[in-house]
C-alpha cells in the first residue's frame, strides 16, 4: 500500500512537473509569436509601400513552430496592431486571435505542408500579373531565375481561396521557391519573411524587364538557356557573406 501511495505521488509529481514545464515554455512561445507578428505586419505594409499590392489584396504568413501566423482578411495593413494577431494550426484551425484569417489560407497551408518554408508572401504585383496572362512560363530573361529554382512557371487560373488554386500553385512550385498565378499575381516562400519578400520583389523585377524588352517594336529579347540559368543558380547558392 505504501508503495502504491509512493507510485501515485510519483505519477502526480510527474504530471505536475510537466504542467509547470509547459507553463514556463508558454511565455517563450507567445513571445516568439508576437515578435514574428510584428515582422509579418511590417512585411505586409512593405508590399503596399513598394506597389506590390493595392488595398487589402495579397497576404503574408510566417510559421512559428506548428502555428502559422497570417494576415487577416479584409483589414488594411496600416490598421493592424499587436493585438490583432491571427494564428492557425497546420490543419487551418484558428488558435490565435479573433479576426478571420486571409481567404487565401489554403495556398499558405499548402506551401507549409509541401516544403520546409517558414514564410510565404502572396502579392498582386502588376508586372508579374501582366506576365501571368501572356505566357505559361516566364521567359529566361535573367539569370536570377536560378535563385528561384529555375524557370518560373505560371499556375493555371482558379478562383481565389479555393483548394483548386492551392493545388495548381503546389504543382507550379515543384522544385521552385516562387511562381506566377494566372490572372492573379505571385507567391513566393523562403526560410524567413525577408527571403520570401526578396524573392517576390526579384520576380516582379524580372517580369518588368521581360515586358520592357518585349515592347520594343521589331526586336525580340535574347534569352538564356536552361543550362545557363542552372549554372547561375549553383553559383548563387554561395553568394553573399558567410557566417
Find where cell 503574408 sits: 60
Q: How far is CA 38 from CA 147, 158, 171, 197, 221, in A?
A: 27, 31, 31, 15, 42
Burial of 147 (0-12, 13-18, 19+ CB in 10 A): buried
Q: What is the DSSP string of 118-135?
A: SEEEEE--HHHHHHHTT-
Coil, helix or strand at residue 208: helix
Determine which one of 104, 167, 204, 231 is catalytic: 104
Beta-carbon contacts of 152 under 8 Å, excluding residues fewer than 6 positions away, are 137, 138, 145, 176, 178, 179, 180, 203, 206
The total number of residues shown for the chain amounts to 243
Contact 138, 131 (CB under 8 A): yes
| CA gyration radius, the chain | 22
Angle at 39 between CA 191 and CA 129, to 5 degrees: 70
Q: What is the DSSP string of 23-38?
A: HHHHHHHHHHHHHHHH
Closest CA to 37 of 91, 101, 109: 101
- Concerning whether 104 is annotated as a catalytic residue, the answer is yes
Q: Which residues are catalytic?
A: 104
Amino acid at each position: 500500500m505504501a508503495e502504491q501511495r509512493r507510485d501515485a505521488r510519483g505519477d502526480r509529481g510527474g504530471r505536475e512537473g510537466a504542467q509547470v514545464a509547459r507553463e514556463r515554455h508558454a511565455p517563450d512561445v507567445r513571445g516568439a509569436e508576437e515578435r514574428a507578428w510584428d515582422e509579418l505586419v511590417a512585411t505586409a505594409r512593405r508590399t503596399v509601400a513598394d506597389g506590390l499590392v493595392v488595398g487589402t489584396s495579397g497576404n503574408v504568413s510566417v510559421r512559428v513552430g506548428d502555428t502559422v501566423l497570417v494576415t487577416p482578411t479584409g483589414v488594411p495593413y496600416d490598421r493592424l496592431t499587436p493585438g490583432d494577431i491571427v494564428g492557425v494550426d497546420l490543419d487551418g484551425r484558428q488558435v490565435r486571435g479573433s479576426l478571420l484569417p486571409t481567404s487565401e489560407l489554403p495556398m499558405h497551408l499548402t506551401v507549409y505542408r509541401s516544403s520546409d518554408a517558414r514564410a510565404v508572401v502572396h502579392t498582386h504585383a502588376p508586372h508579374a500579373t501582366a506576365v501571368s496572362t501572356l505566357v505559361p512560363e516566364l521567359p529566361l530573361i535573367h539569370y536570377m531565375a536560378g535563385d528561384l529554382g529555375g524557370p518560373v512557371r505560371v499556375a493555371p487560373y482558379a478562383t481565389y481561396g479555393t483548394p483548386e488554386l492551392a493545388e495548381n500553385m503546389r504543382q507550379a512550385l515543384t522544385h521552385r521557391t516562387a511562381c506566377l498565378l494566372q490572372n492573379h499575381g505571385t507567391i513566393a516562400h523562403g526560410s524567413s519573411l525577408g527571403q520570401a519578400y526578396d524573392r517576390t520583389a526579384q520576380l516582379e523585377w524580372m517580369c518588368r524587364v521581360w515586358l520592357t524588352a518585349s515592347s520594343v517594336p521589331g526586336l525580340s529579347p535574347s534569352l538564356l538557356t536552361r543550362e545557363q540559368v542552372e549554372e547561375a543558380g549553383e553559383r548563387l547558392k554561395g553568394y553573399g557573406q558567410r557566417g
